[in-house]
Chains A and B, each alone.
Chain A
Amino acid sequence: GAGVSQSPRYKVAKRGQDVALRCDPISGHVSLFWYQQALGQGPEFLTYFQNEAQLDKSGLPSDRFFAERPEGSVSTLKIQRTQQEDSAVYLCASSQEVILGSNQPQHFGDGTRLSIL
């Protein structure tokens, strides 16, 4: 596709349920990022993949959060035993590659708005 695609756009879940959020990056983009954006705040880094390798997961807030990109394209962010504080917009971004001294801009999807009741 032409841009980064995220699904679903909206997700409502009850506290304690597991959720899975999907990201389809721009075709050929090596790097993929997940961010969490709370209401009225800037995006906060969660994790980063280069192809299928998860190179940085320092931003994942707890072990309830898990991300994967098994074939180096589509990625899934899974949240287990959801809590109300998990309510946020989850943004996915991709870029061509990360090369020291280059830093290609990231292209963002429209996000998944997650509401935990």
Chain B
Amino acid sequence: AQSVAQPEDQVNVAEGNPLTVKCTYSVSGNPYLFWYVQYPNRGLQFLLKYITGDNLVKGSYGFEAEFNKSQTSFHLKKPSALVSDSALYFCAVSLYSSASKIIFGSGTRLSIRP
């Protein structure tokens, strides 16, 4: 069965510093990987996805993520954090053979201090 793990419930970063939000996955086939962001009382917003090709994926708002097959990881990164990046971030995975069903991680709360 496929699964996603986000080992950190919360990540705290000072504004202007680089940030990393960790994600590891477990699937039996080729994964599609996603990052979504959720602001309070709102639905999820798509940030970026990995399907195939370059391991470094660039997405919205200056975020990027690196697919590492050997470590089964898909960490979210940004070179310079903004206070407005503070939100709840979800990593998600689906299988090529079952592209409709997405499994989400439990989420990481990112807090950027001024």
- Name A residues whose Cβ lies closer than 8 Å to a Cβ of B: 4, 31, 33, 35, 40-45, 48, 50, 55-56, 58-59, 91, 93, 98-103, 105-111
The interface residues of chain A, by DSSP majority, are classed as loop
Per the CB 8 Å criterion, the residue count for chain B at the interface is 26
Across-interface contacts of A56 in B (CB, < 8 A):
100-101
Across-interface contacts of B99 in A (CB, < 8 A):
98-100, 102-103
The interface residues of chain B, by DSSP majority, are classed as strand
Query: Which of B41, B96, B97, B104 contacts A43, CB < 8 Å?
Result: B104
Knowing A101-B96, A103-B32, the reply to whether A110 touches B101 (Cβ < 8 A) is no
| B43:A31 contact, CB within 8 angstroms | no
- Name B residues whose Cβ lies closer than 8 Å to a Cβ of A: 4, 32, 34, 36, 41-46, 49, 51, 90, 92, 94, 96-97, 99-107
15 contacts between A and B (CB under 8 A): A41-B106, A42-B90, A42-B105, A42-B106, A43-B90, A43-B104, A56-B101, A91-B44, A93-B44, A99-B99, A102-B99, A106-B44, A107-B46, A110-B43, A111-B43
